Structure 1
């Protein structure tokens, strides 16, 4: 998912089409053509080339950025069946809702900022010259019950790193959902050339710290009194894992 040669589209209109699709998540072809003021023949030609080059595809009558992130996987524990798959634009509301519910239970500042960002942008996945953003979701009967999110700024000095958040609704914990989500996210990061994944957690979120430590994450640093929560200063625990 690295963006080397990202802007080498060969034609300015082709670049404009891609950027419009990437910015909006999923778009209607006719509306896109009208908004960009392109003639029908030229628009179809550029879309066909973008599809041929694997940059965008068409699903359910909408254009969206092509992100190869593997297939859906099914898991069955003692009393729960759940699926983990790459997120789609249609999952945005479910992901925002799941993140906000988890944030209400525990302080999870990084995840809260992710929810605010995707809700504001109304676009789930990002893949441009500035940043990459990927989500996987855990679903039970098509409802989003957990997520793993990876964010990577496309800066040369940081191109080997990605930030991760992961969470599961309280009533679905204890079935391995979080572990499978974390594994899927790290697998994706490793296969896309990232060497290190990190996240920051308030020291009061002992459950999250214990979960990451159980999966071989290590504390790299602690920033004292970095957060102010409910009038009290709280340390930031900066954790990471090498891939």
Structure 2
């Protein structure tokens, strides 16, 4: 599905949140690879489950044609600096919900990009009668957990010792959900 572009200005940084387009595929592949190497808050290490330009083109095409998927990008001066996806299910018993994921280049943390990608996704879900948004977040990502709670997400469960990080320790994954009442 597509949404109308929205402009934001935070601390003199102007960026646009808009639906992903097929022409973004190459840039998205590069940005995802870079982000995976900048944080341990995501599931992948740099280079794992690599998605090339063709892979992103397919995802964008499928998401644009699906009423239960949303692929957003955040763009600064025509450069993608972050993105989010809501992915629904074709299974009837799960068709009421979507899974949300977000990532932003480290140099753009603190400008509300992740927050505004989340806000746009929540708004889209609400107006499209999506009953539930789910997400997973690493227990150490306090800022994200606080943000999700601010937007109505609740802790639904904990996957204990779910992630092995570079420090050799295991960490819990927190499962969160937001219900559209």
Q: Give TM-score, length-normalised by structure 2.
A: 0.81
Q: Could you give the per-residue CA deviations for residues 105-151 of structure 1, whole angstroms, max 9, x where no partner exists?
A: 32234577xx9375373423225999954211110110001111111
User: What's 1:124 paired with?
Assistant: 59
| Greater mean deviation of Cα atoms: 71-80 or 160-169 | 71-80
Structure 1 or 2, whichever has the larger Rg, is 1
Structure 1 gap segments, 5+ residues each: 1-66
- Report SS of the residue matched to 1:194: coil
1:76 aligns with 2:6: no
Q: Closer, same or farther in 2 for the Cα pair 1:97/1:209, shift >3 Å?
A: farther
How far does residue 200 in structure 1 lie from its aligned partner after superposition? 1.0
d(CA) in 2 for partners of 1:128 and 1:214? 28
Q: Closer, same or farther in 2 for the Cα pair 1:154/1:229, shift >3 Å?
A: same
Q: Closer, same or farther in 2 for the Cα pair 1:177/1:128, shift >3 Å?
A: closer
Choose from 89, 96, 101 the match for 1:153.
Answer: 89
User: What's 1:91 paired with?
Assistant: 24
- Report SS of the residue matched to 2:3: coil
User: What's 1:191 paired with?
Assistant: 127
Q: Closer, same or farther in 2 for the Cα pair 1:78/1:111, shift >3 Å?
A: same
d(CA) in 2 for partners of 1:241 and 1:177? 20
How many residues are treated as equivalent by the alignment?
Answer: 175
Matches within 5 A, 1:202-241: 202-230=138-166, 231-241=168-178
User: What's 1:180 paired with?
Assistant: 116
